[in-house]
């Protein structure tokens, strides 16, 4: 009897201790998660006198709506293709199809995302929300670049510091340091590094090339801004994943390495047959964590570029927040969040499947 009552009491105590944390998680994570789904099906705004209406999947359609338009070149009265000075065909403007065109009501309000020439025709991909599409592509680019860069870099560092050398702990500490600094602070600092006039990076490149290098405004050009943010982000979190790799490395039995020594395996063979298979579970964890974190890219953008220049660093989370709070369009922001959730879920499931234990 006594044992039972102790058990119930301690159970109560356990719930008691868990309650504050659980309540906070519920209010700030679990509830908003379901709210996002609910809002995405309405026209809810942050502050609005109008009552909220259920709109079905209209928000999704407005974000994801796409169409392909084939435009024939303009012809003169004789039926000949009108060509410009370079001899290229000229085309009617896209807006003539997408604005108040009674024959193409389904293209109403769409804008050109990108296009190409096919024969004399021009093919245009139209999107209902080009900005969303750009941020989706930028986010995916960021993810695809940062997973190998950050995961591979972290593994390389882990392999380097997983040695018994004098002072190795100093290296471990140095590599881990950026992790404990706030990403906002890191972003601010890197703005100075990337500065177009007197930035550290420009100065170093200038010095190394003996003055031949012309300064670049790294964050101010569409072709370098996203890459600059990728490099900085990889640098900032690489130490964290290095520690996870290191933990994985240290679970591999040293006897396996002795077998490799006796069999005469070289460094690459040892890595391929012993280290990498031994890191399988760690790899799944590291890659999924990096992927999820990468999809949530926000702070760097907010501090460094605000999505610019020319939307070249727009990202999904940045857009979600921009719309939800900047434009008070909570339902639109929620819809982006829900889409992001499904993208991350799908990718994580695929990664899990690809790295599964085969028996």
Partner 1 sequence: MAEVNLKQVRKSFGDTEVIKGVDIDIDDGEFVVFVGPSGCGKSTLLRMIAGLEDITSGTLEIDGRVVNDVQPKDRGIAMVFQTYAIFPHMSVRENVGFGLTIAGVSRDEKDRKVMEAAKILQMEHLLDRRPSQLSGGQRQRVAIGRAIVRDPSVFLFDEPLSNLDAALRMDMRMEIAKLHKQLDATMVYVTHDQVEAMTLADKIVVLRDGIVQQIGAPMDLYHKPANLFVAGFIGSPSMNFMDVAVRQASAESVTVEAPALDPVTLPVASGEFAGGGGAKLGIRPQHLSVVEGNTGGALHGRVVLVERLGTETVVNVDLARGGNIVAALAEDRPLSVGANVALSFDPAQAHLFADA
- Interface with partner 1 by CB under 8 A: which residues? 253, 255-256, 258-265, 269, 273-274, 277, 280, 359
DSSP H or E stretch at residue 333: helix 330-354
DSSP H or E stretch at residue 118: strand 111-118
Q: Which CB atom, from 280 or from 327, has the smaller least distance to partner 1?
A: 280
Of 239, 244, 347, the closest CA to residue 291 belongs to: 347
Q: Which CB atom, from 22 or from 276, has the smaller least distance to partner 1?
A: 276
- Report the distance separating Cα 239 and Cα 305, nearest Å: 24
Lookup: tokens for 291? 């992927």
Partnered with residue 69 across adjacent β-strands are 124
Asked if 143 and 291 count as a contact pair (C-beta separation under 8 A), the reply is yes
- Report the distance separating Cα 10 and Cα 73, nearest Å: 79
Q: How far apart are the first and last CA of the chain?
A: 48
Q: Which CB atom, from 183 or from 279, has the smaller least distance to partner 1?
A: 279
Q: Give least dist CB 257 to partner 1, A.
A: 9
Lookup: tokens for 153? 């870099």
Lookup: tokens for 87? 């001899």
Q: Which CB atom, from 125 or from 259, has the smaller least distance to partner 1?
A: 259
Q: State the Cα angle at 271 between 268 and 276, rounded to 5°.
A: 145
Q: Give least dist CB 354 to partner 1, A.
A: 15
CA dihedral in degrees (148, 149, 155, 159; nearest 10)? 130
**CB burial of residue 228 (10 Å; 0-12, 13-18, 19+):** buried
Q: Which CB atom, from 88 or from 258, has the smaller least distance to partner 1?
A: 258
What sign does the CA torsion over 198, 204, 207, 213 have? negative
Q: Give least dist CB 349 to partner 1, A.
A: 22
Q: Which CB atom, from 54 or from 276, has the smaller least distance to partner 1?
A: 276
Q: Which CB atom, from 4 or from 358, has the smaller least distance to partner 1?
A: 358
Partnered with residue 127 across adjacent β-strands are 66, 111
Q: Give least dist CB 263 to partner 1, A.
A: 4
Q: Give least dist CB 186 to partner 1, A.
A: 38
CA dihedral in degrees (211, 214, 220, 226; nearest 10)? -80
Phi, psi of 93 (to 5 degrees): -70, 145
Q: Which CB atom, from 55 or from 284, has the smaller least distance to partner 1?
A: 284
Q: Give least dist CB 244 to partner 1, A.
A: 20
Q: Give least dist CB 255 to partner 1, A.
A: 4
Q: Give least dist CB 277 to partner 1, A.
A: 4
Q: Give least dist CB 356 to partner 1, A.
A: 12
DSSP, res 162: S
- Report the distance separating Cα 7 and Cα 158, nearest Å: 44
Q: Which CB atom, from 93 or from 352, has the smaller least distance to partner 1?
A: 352
DSSP, res 42: B
């Amino acid at each position: 009897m006594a044992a039972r009552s102790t058990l119930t009491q301690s159970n109560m105590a356990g719930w008691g201790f868990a309650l504050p944390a659980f309540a906070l998680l519920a209010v700030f994570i679990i509830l908003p998660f379901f709210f996002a789904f609910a809002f995405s099906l309405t026209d809810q705004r942050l502050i609005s006198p109008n009552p909220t209406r259920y709109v079905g999947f209209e928000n999704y359609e407005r974000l994801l709506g796409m169409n392909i338009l084939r435009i024939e070149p303009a012809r003169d009265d004789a039926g000949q293709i009108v060509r410009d000075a370079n001899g290229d065909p000229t085309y009617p403007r896209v807006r003539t199809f997408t604005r108040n065109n009674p024959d193409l009501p389904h293209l109403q309000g769409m804008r050109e995302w990108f296009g190409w020439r096919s024969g004399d025709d021009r093919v245009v991909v139209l999107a209902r929300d080009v900005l969303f599409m750009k941020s989706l592509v930028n986010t995916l680019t960021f993810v695809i670049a940062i997973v190998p860069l950050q995961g591979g870099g972290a593994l390389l560092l882990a392999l380097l510091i997983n040695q018994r050398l004098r002072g190795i702990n100093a290296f471990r500490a140095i590599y881990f340091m950026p992790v404990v600094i706030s990403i906002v602070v890191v972003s601010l600092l890197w703005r100075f590094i990337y500065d177009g006039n007197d930035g550290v990076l420009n100065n170093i490149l200038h010095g190394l090339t003996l003055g031949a290098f012309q300064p670049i405004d790294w964050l101010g050009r569409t072709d370098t801004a996203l890459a600059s943010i990728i490099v900085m982000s990889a640098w900032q979190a690489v130490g964290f994943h290095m520690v996870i790799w290191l933990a994985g490395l240290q679970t591999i039995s040293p006897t396996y390495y002795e077998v490799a020594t006796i069999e005469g395996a070289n460094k690459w063979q040892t890595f391929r047959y012993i280290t990498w298979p031994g890191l399988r579970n760690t790899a799944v964890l590291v890659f999924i964590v990096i992927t999820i974190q990468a999809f949530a890219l926000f702070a760097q953008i907010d501090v460094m570029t605000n999505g610019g220049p020319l939307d070249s660093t727009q990202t999904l989370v940045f857009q979600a927040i921009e719309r939800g709070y900047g434009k008070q369009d909570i339902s639109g922001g929620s819809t982006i969040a829900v889409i992001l959730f499904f993208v991350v879920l799908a990718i994580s499931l695929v990664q899990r499947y690809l790295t599964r234990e085969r028996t």
